[in-house]
Amino acid sequence: MVSSKPGSSFGPSHHDSGVSSIEKLITDDSVIEVPQNYVISDQESPVSDGTILATIPTIDMRQLVLINQSANKDELEKLHSTCKEWGIFQLVNHGVSSALLDKVKQDLEAFFNLPLEEKMRYKVRPGDVEGYGTVVKSQDQKLDWGNRLYMFTNPRRKPHLFPELPTSLRNTLEWYMLELQRIARTLLGFMGKLLKMKMEEMEELFQDGLQSLRMTQYPPCPQPGLVGGLRPHSDGSGITILHQVNGVQGLQIKKDGAWFPVIFNHGAFVVNVGDILEILSDGLYKSIEHRVIVNPEKERISIAMFFMPKLESEIGPVTALRDPQKPPSPGKIGMEKFVENYFAHNLNGKTPLERIRTKDGEENTTA
């Protein structure tokens, strides 16, 4: 397990029967209306069906790692401007084989197709956030239209979760995580350089840091406009690497106050800046608010891997980036406190990051 502290202090929760009700709904032909606890009355509609899609940046990892510095300069500048202006990009030529991605698809589909009673072996336990199912913090909470398995995978793992997964899935995820760790190290290294951090500073911060996986199945919904697959939020990570497993679209981002769909290039990963990188960059890099909508006919499966600093570290703006013309930023916050704050509340836009920047947030920081 990650540790007894994070596992028990992320706020009250319990496994919710909504996990089984979703599965019953999609197998019961007589059910044609969405239950009220899934209906989101204030959901904003996207303003575009795709006119902005071509402008979402694509970063070529092969160009980034070229030894010839003049050859990779343009790609580095593109990465820098993308993190400042968008906070999200598609990553191509990342080196992860199509054979591995096919195996991830095969094993995740097999897991989500298991009988409910088998998946409930991994259910979220009281007082925890890890496991299969929905974390419920209040009786009137609106539930996401999705079945998800969430777990920390580094530096420690809870013995009843990852080690007990079906053998094929466990082995595939081990292979997959090694590949994404390689990608994350490379990207974070370049981002640190662009943020004028010392060469070893970013590496030390994230080396053997917290890492977690969220695997989600979004079943078809008869009334997709009434529900949300995943509520609007920004990630409490340094970076997140997302793979759209079965090719069904559904991710949307909030840019300039409006929601736009993201169409994945085949075989590409989507990488987004998280709240921690926004803090480190003193707001220069932007964590992107995003959400998931569901499909009326097709199931969507995705897997996201989150990369965070080690639990005992403190995070705050990089000294070299502090602007004397701007109001002073809050002091450093302990990573453990940051994680506790993030998981203590329901997903709601960029609220966790905003809390850190309020007076209350400043009182919880250390200089």
Tokens representing 163 are 């080690």
CA-CA-CA-CA torsion sign (238, 185, 147, 296): positive
Distances (CA, A) of 22 to 40, 224, 229, 292: 16, 13, 12, 16
For all residues of the chain together, what is the average pLDDT?
Answer: 83
> Locate tokens 């009182």: which residue?
363
Ordered DSSP codes for 19-45: HHHHHHHHH-TT--S--GGG--TTPPP
Long-range CB contacts (< 8 A, 24+ apart) of 115-119? 116/19, 116/20, 116/23, 119/147, 119/149
Is 215's pLDDT higher than 70? yes
Question: Which pLDDT score, from 0 to 100, does residue 185 have?
Answer: 95
Q: Report how many helices (DSSP H) and strands (DSSP E) the chain contains, helices first.
A: 12, 14
Residue 213 exposure: Cα atoms within 13 Å on the Cβ side: 27
All domains in the chain, ordered by first residue: 40-324 (2.60.120.330)
Ordered DSSP codes for 142-201: PPPS-EEEEEEEES---TTSGGGS-HHHHHHHHHHHHHHHHHHHHHHHHHHHHTT--HHH
Which of 355 and 257 is assigned the larger pLDDT?
A: 257
Q: Which residues pair with 305 in a beta bridge?
A: 213, 241
Confidence of residue 2 (pLDDT cuts 50, 70, 90): very low
Q: Per-residue pLDDT tens for 298-348?
A: 999 999 999 999 999 999 888 777 666 766 566 788 888 888 887 776 666
Cα distance between residue 118 and residue 130, in whole Å = 16
pLDDT, average across residues 335-362: 66
Q: Per-residue pLDDT tens for 158-209?
A: 999 999 999 999 999 999 999 999 999 999 999 999 999 887 889 899 999 9
Q: Per-residue pLDDT tens for 81-131?
A: 999 999 999 999 999 999 999 999 999 999 999 999 999 999 998 888 899
Cα distance between residue 169 and residue 111, in whole Å = 8
Cα distance between residue 75 and residue 34, in whole Å = 46
Question: Which pLDDT score, from 0 to 100, does residue 366 have?
Answer: 38
Query: With the CA atoms of 271, 210, 245 and 106 taken in that order, what torsion angle do they form, in degrees rounded to the nearest 10?
Result: 150
| Contact predicate 66/43, CB 8 Å | no
